[in-house]
Amino acid sequence: MHIDRDTDPLALFQAWLAEAGQSEPNDPNAMTLATVGPDGAPSARMVLLKGVDERGFSFYTNLGSRKAAELDARPQAALCFHWKSLRRQVRIEGPVERVTDAEADAYFATRARISQLGAWASKQSQPLAGRFELEARVGRYTARFALGPVPRPSHWSGYRVVPGRIEFWEDRPFRLHMRFVFVRADNGWTTGELYP
Q: What are phi and psi of 70, to 5 degrees?
A: -70, -40
In this predicted structure, what is the pLDDT of residue 3? 76
- Scanning the chain, the segments in alpha helix (DSSP H) are 9-23, 66-73, 101-110, 113-121, 131-145
In this predicted structure, what is the pLDDT of residue 79? 98
pLDDT tens track for 144-186? 999 899 999 999 999 999 999 999 999 998 988 999 999 999 8
In this predicted structure, what is the pLDDT of residue 70? 98
Whether the CA torsion 39, 44, 48, 50 is positive or negative: it is positive
Which active-site residues does the annotation give? 175
Task: Grade residue 1 by pLDDT with cuts at 50, 70 and 90.
Answer: low
pTM as predicted: 0.93
Domains and CATH numbers, the chain: 9-111+153-193 (2.30.110.10)
pLDDT tens track for 87-133? 999 999 999 999 999 999 999 999 999 999 999 999 999 999 999 99
pLDDT tens track for 7-41? 899 999 999 999 999 999 899 999 999 999 999 99
In this predicted structure, what is the pLDDT of residue 80? 98
